[in-house]
Structure 1
Amino acid sequence: MGGTAMRPFSTGNINQSGINEDIYNHVWKSTNTLEQNKAAYYPRLSEAGGEGSTNNNQTSTLTMRNGRFLRLKNFEIGYSIPKSILEKTFIKSTRFYLSGSNLITFSKFKLWDPETGSSDGGIYPPLRVFTIGLNAKF
């Protein structure tokens, strides 16, 4: 996910609640057990102006994610009424259909839509669209 390194704890990069929740659940904390802190994904931050505080804004690959995904992008199903049924009417042909786009995405990455290519989730994701239709020739 994303090919550029960022400063993840600087102003303006983290403002979505899902990202904040991910950080809270996976950050080093003094109240964690030793095992929880060993498994923490996000590092311990330092108080602004305190010892080690320059580490809070170091460029790193911390925010890089595996953005592999599989998406059912487009699908359409339709039914045409047989001409043998329509020949007794003034209708030459009729077709009903249902289509959709961006129907389902399979990805281990859950913070935002992986197709946006965004490194901070700040781009609106592709919309899921459903269409029901009828084509008729008279």
Structure 2
Amino acid sequence: MDSSFIGSWKLDPSKNVGMEAFGKAMGLPPDQVENYNKLSYVVTMTQDGEKFTVSVDFAGAMPNRSYTMKLGETIDYNSAAGVTAKLTVTMDNGKVLETYENEEKKTKWTVQRSVAGNEMTAVTKLGDATLTQVLIKV
């Protein structure tokens, strides 16, 4: 993984764009989408050799999550909201690309992360829905 992604990143929920459309595309109830749109969390990325770990701290609002993997390896993903999927993370032109596939619901979505200075932008796409989020390095 590119070293620019390593460290801790705090979501700025005031910069969320497209949460309602994405939540609807995921089949989430409106109250849950509203809660996610206000949720602030910290993502910490660390690397040990070929393996990297992504930890998400929801500051008590939801159970924390942690995933360890290698680039190109597919793992079982379980979100704090109970969404399950197969997750594969790759790098493409200096950007992190996360590909999620839920076989049960036959849905596939992607998250593309890029870093510029102290900001990480995450663009999530599912069908026609696009969610853009900004995280600040802490």
After TM superposition, the score normalised by the length of structure 2 is 0.26
Which has the higher Rg, Structure 1 or Structure 2?
1
TM norm structure 1: 0.26
Pick the structure with more strand per residue: 2
